[in-house]
Amino acid sequence: MKILSAYEKARIYIEQHTQETDPTKKRKGGPIITLSRETGIGASSICQSLVEYLNSHAIEEYSDWAYFDRELIEKIMEDPKLPQHFRNMIDEDKPMKMDSWFSELLGLSPSKLSLIKRISKTIMSLAEIGNLIIVGRGANIITANLKNTFHLRLIAPLDFRIENAMKLYKLDRKKAEAFIKKEDEARRNFIKTYFHKNIEDPFLYHAIINTNLLKSDEIAEMIGHCVIKRFPEYFKTHFSHQFKN
């Protein structure tokens, strides 16, 4: 049996949900989880566990959760083979409804302004589909006023992240520490430059989790429980009925 790559899975997901169909039969977009994280957390493992947890509790029509990280989003932005309907959403040149923060970006160079517009349109187009975990790229800020979102930040002590990076990327301690500090700084600068926000501002998130004290499946279950409680109509678990409005 062929094992699909992460991008092949992402393309299949987009193709399945962006076909031109009868609007009356098109499903409503599901929840969106945005995930900001410090470097060396091991977010891919957490995301995979979370996808499995949510799919196991979702009603049938919404049991197709997926996650998109920075690399996948960048590939999507440049892939000419994606469905034309989805490409049109990304490429359309109409004014963006991105709230007041976007007007603050006028001080950027044309190339940087073009980049952030494209990233934002890609994320908003994915958000229309729903049932997604979007990692990084300021997704929590871009989707801040959508009602179907849940914003998270994952943190951990530096020593824990260094040890994790040594295992994940096969680095010695010195290189792992340098890598983490460089990546953390790049992420802070990205959010500050393009969104005029502090990535560490706790008010940008619904929850902040210290991953040092929990296993990946425990973190996934914690997040999953919060998402199911917040959006019970998409899930079949016993506590979804308990908290339904």
Domain boundaries, the chain: 28-69+131-242
**pLDDT score recorded for residue 109:** 57
User: 89-98, 201-210, 218-227: which has the minimum mean pLDDT?
Assistant: 89-98
Q: Does residue 157 carry a pLDDT above 90?
A: yes
Higher pLDDT, 99 or 72: 72
Average pLDDT of the chain, as a whole number: 78
Q: What CA–CA distance (Å, rounded) separates 68 from 6?
A: 9
Place of tokens 């991953």: 211
pLDDT one-digit tens code per residue, 88-103: 544 454 444 444 444 4
Instruction: Check if the beta carbon of residue 165 is closer than 8 Å to that of residue 184.
Output: no
Question: In angstroms, what CA-CA distances link 42 with 39, 46, 186?
Answer: 8, 7, 18
**pLDDT score recorded for residue 67:** 84
CA angle 213, 216, 219 (to 5 degrees): 70
Does domain 28-69+131-242 fall into CATH 3.40.50.300?
yes
Highest mean pLDDT among 94-98, 174-178, 189-193: 174-178
**pLDDT score recorded for residue 3:** 44
